Structure 1
Amino acid sequence: MTGSSSYRKSERRRGFTLIELLVVIAIIALLVALLLPAAQQVREAARRMQCKNNLKQQGLAFMNFESVHGALPPRRSTRTPKHGWGPYLLGHMEQKPLGDAYDLEQDFYAPDNQPLIKIPLSVFTCPSAPGNRLITIIDQAGNATGAVGAAGDYFTPNSVDAYWWPANRRAAAADTTNCAALRDNDFQPLANITDGLSNTLLVAEFAGRPDHWIKGRKQPDNSGLRWANWWGPWAAYNSSIFKTWSADGLTPGGPCTVNCNNNWGIYAFHPGGANILLCDGSVHFVSESLDRDIFAGLVTKAGNEVLTFD
């Protein structure tokens, strides 16, 4: 009997008490709390690297286009047929079959191009931005086109609103014909970029459309977003005036240069900054504290600014 009693006591001792279980659960919860931010940082680092690689691929496509045609492609075709810069690059990156099928003789939202522009292209989409975004395309006159396009998260500048510069410099920076690296309806020879290819912005993150984002917060609707259903699809007019914003991101004009408001300007979903592509094909991560003179100087191709944005 004594042996049997000792055996049962030994069996009972092998289990955990309630207090021991609670301690184990608390330790596991603590480990999860400690490891989760680190895991999230690793995932974001991978997404940021993929976003950087997207811009590198775009940069190579621009250089390949320039090598074939002797100039950079048009920023956008504002005359019929209407296109953004994205379709011009398809044949110069790993999208040649799509480029061959795409008809540059028709509007990007034309019925023949509709099945193509609905295809999400990872090279035009930053993985840090919300995924699976389709945009119902409404033209600049507010007319429904009947087309739907997959979103793109990269824009090229039309000009920059350097409101704090002297009047003559501000006017030159606001000149959409002569300010930026690309031109509307025309090809741009690299020789015209006299500030230097490594000092001139070609493409920047401009993410999140058709939703409206301000300082990392999605707005209740996109009624305050300029041409929310026209800009945004990768085949559309993905170009804009670049502006600075108030510190809260609500009002154009102010000290905020990066990740302020995806209405106009550089906007990304990376903590602390955004990726940009320069005309020499290099990609850089610019901080949310980017100086506004450097921000504006990057946009101008011939402003003679001295830049040290790194």
Structure 2
Amino acid sequence: MVHSKRVRGFTLVELLVVIAIIGVLVGLLLPAVQAAREAARRMSCSNNFKQIGLAVHNYHAAYNQLPIQGSGTIDNAGDDWNSSSQISNSLCLSALVGLTPFMEQQALWEQISNPMLGRVGGTTGEPGTATPWSAMGPCPDNRDYIPWSTEIPGLRCPSDPGVGLPALGRTNYAVCFGDAAYNNLATLCGTRSHTNLRLVVQSTAEHSRVQNRGVFVFHEPMQFRDILDGLANTIIMGEIATDLGDKDKRTIGIHHNQSQTAVSNNPLYCRQNVDPDRPQFWKAVPNSSRPFHAEIYGRGYQWAMSRECQTGMRTILPPNSEMCTNKDHNETNYGSAASRHQGGAHVLMSDGAVKFITDSIEAGNSSAGGVYNGGTGTRAAGSASPYGLWGALGTRANKEVISSDF
């Protein structure tokens, strides 16, 4: 007698149940995987900053000063802070340029300091001209100069997706200018004349001494000994997010047509232009014919440029706040630290430590005007920072006691 053996398989209902269980498990695990990836990217970003901190300390050990924000060359005309020369860089180079040989970018530094490549268009605009660039290159907004368009991996946060034109070489790390920014050229030029950078002007120097309270001062050499508040209590650099062309309030400022002192007197001036339905983005600005300059002034677009919107930050508004400007992007910017990480941004302390500062850090009165030369009351020279713990961390010699954890 032959017995037939019955093969039992899965029913349709059983298959659907198994698929549903797998779907639920994937749904539960996917956020955890994404969180783990972001944690890894954040750790990589922190490590980049630590390497920059080591580069800063090695630079100081070699030259007994910090790299200058606003260094480089000047042509025979003396240039000004807003020129775009091809035979000099008008003292527009950021501190990051000087750090390149200390960041394992020796080859790039040699190309910058002793350029051998010819001009893409030549001095007369004709292709094929082999005339080399001047030492230290042209102004950093020149797209024909290859080093300025070079992406340096150590200057990029893995969480930031920004890439390509209209930016040149991007950076996610910027120097700290402190907690004060009043509308005059001392904030932009340090002690120098804005029409001839060869000249040092006494009146400008007087304003600069009061208003430039951070570790970095435009065009001025600074040393660790100038940081009287202590290296562990003073921010030297901060993380910034680069612009993606999406009107993110943290990465592009608004060109407003109001008084230039409007922002100086109230850092929250531009908040009225934030989209209430999308609080991270700007709304349309009806009173300006050209509200944004994303083609050249997106934040972090030019790693070699010393302009604030490119490689600078201030400890006025808390991290990830809107970037407000004085009239236009060549002038003082009120950009804070910003990042693509959740809830805050990294800062580099002067002793080389990297800390993650949350958006909720105690930041005092954000609508208060900053300290300036000629100010009265809480804005008088030498006054404590009106921006709380966040502002105090940005000052180098204000003798403010850091008593709370951050």
Q: TM-score, normalised by structure 2?
A: 0.60
The AA in structure 2 aligned to 1:157 is C
Code of the aligned partner of 1:192: D
SS in 1 for 2:177: strand
1:181 and 1:93 map into 2 onto residues whose CA distance is 20
In the alignment, residue 347 of structure 2 is paired with which amino acid? I
- Secondary structure of the residue that 1:274 maps to in structure 2? strand
Q: CA deviation at 1:107?
A: 2.2
User: Are the counterparts in 2 of residues 73 and 187 from structure 1 also a CA contact under 8 Å?
Assistant: yes
Cα deviation 1:93-133 (Å, max 9, x = unaligned): 11111111114253223467x21122211211111111424
Match of 2:226 among 192, 198, 221: 192
**Structure-2 change in CA distance of 1:100 and 1:199 (3 Å):** same
d(CA) in 2 for partners of 1:189, 1:175: 15
Q: In structure 1, what is the equivalent of residue 155 of structure 2? A: 124
Q: Distance in 1 between matches of 2:248 and 2:320?
A: 9
- Structure 2 residue 95 is matched with structure 1 residue 85: yes
User: For residues 160 and 173 of structure 2, what CA distance do their matches in structure 1 show?
Assistant: 11
Determine whether 1:50 maps to 2:119: no
Q: Secondary structure at the match of 2:221?
A: coil
Q: Which letter does structure 1 place at the counterpart of 2:52?
A: Q
Aligned to 2:215: 181
Provide the residue aligned with 1:269 in structure 2. 340
- What does residue 274 of structure 2 align with? none
Provide the residue aligned with 1:248 in structure 2: none
Distance 2:22 2:352 in 1: 47
The CA distance in 2 between the partners of 1:117 and 1:133, in whole Å, is 13
C-alpha separation in 2, matches of 1:186 and 1:122: 28
Are the aligned partners of 2:143 and 2:149 in contact in 1 as well (CA < 8 Å)? Answer: no
Q: AA paired with 1:118?
A: S
SS at match of 1:50: helix
Which residue, 280, 294, 297 being the options, matches 2:392? 297
Identify which of 163, 166, 170 aligns with 1:135: 166
d(CA) in 1 for partners of 2:30, 2:208: 45
Q: Deviations over 1:283-302 (max 9, x none)?
A: 11111211111110111111
Is the counterpart of residue 281 in structure 1 residue 348 in structure 2? no
2:178–2:395 Cα contact (<8 Å) kept: yes
Distance, in Å, in 1 between the alignment partners of 2:234 and 2:147 is: 31
The verdict on how the C-alpha distance between 1:217 and 1:17 changes in structure 2, with shifts beyond 3 A counting, is farther
RMSD between superposed Cα atoms in Å: 3.0
Instruction: Determine the structure 2 residue equivalent to 1:108.
Output: 140
- The change in CA–CA distance for 1:281 and 1:176 in structure 2 (over 3 A counts) is farther
Partner of 2:305: 236
SS of the aligned residue for 1:234 comes to coil
CA contact (8 A) 1:208 1:262 kept: no
Runs of 5+ consecutive residues of structure 2 not aligned to the other structure: 72-80, 82-88, 114-135, 183-205, 251-278, 325-334, 364-387
Deviations 1:226-282 (A, max 9, x none): 7762452211121144431xxxxxxxxxxxx12223551011111122111011111
- Contact 1:161–1:173, Cα closer than 8 Å, also in 2: no
Cα distance, 1:52–1:17 mapped onto 2, change above 3 Å: same
The counterpart of 1:76, out of the listed 55, 66, 70, is: 70
The question of whether the paired residues in 2 share the 8 Å contact of 1:135 and 1:151 is answered with: no
Offset at 1:219? 5.8
Deviation at 1:89, TM superposition (A): 0.4
Farther off after superposition, 62-71 or 172-181: 172-181
Q: Percent identity?
A: 32
- 1:229 counterpart letter in structure 2: I
Aligned to 2:56: 62
Aligned-pair CA distance for 1:221:
9.1
Query: Which segment drifts farther, 76-85 or 37-46?
Result: 76-85
Q: How far, CA to CA, are the matches of 1:36 and 1:70 in structure 2?
A: 50
Number of positions where the alignment pairs a residue of Structure 1 with one of Structure 2 = 271
CA gap 1:92/1:63 in 2 versus in 1, 3 angstroms:
same
3-state DSSP of counterpart to 1:160: coil
- The 2-side partners of 1:111 and 1:176 are apart by 36
For the residue of structure 1 that corresponds to 2:166, the secondary structure is strand
**2:308 maps to 1:213:** no
What's the TM-score once normalised by structure 1's chain length?
A: 0.77
Deviations 1:201-241 (Å, cap 9, x if unpaired)? 11111112254424884668997557762452211121144
**In structure 2, the residue corresponding to 1:275 is in which secondary structure?**
strand
Cα distance in structure 1, aligned partners of 2:155 and 2:228: 28
Contact 2:162/2:244, CA 8 A, preserved across alignment: no
> Are residues 67 and 38 of structure 1, via their aligned partners in 2, closer, same or farther at CA, if it must alter by over 3 Å?
same
What one-letter code is carried by the residue in structure 1 that aligns with 2:248?
Answer: W
Distance in 2, Cα, partners of 1:175 & 1:37: 50
Judged with a 3 Å threshold, the aligned counterparts in structure 2 of structure 1 residues 241 and 189 are, in CA distance, closer, same or farther, namely same
Q: Is 1:3 equivalent to 2:3 in the alignment?
A: yes
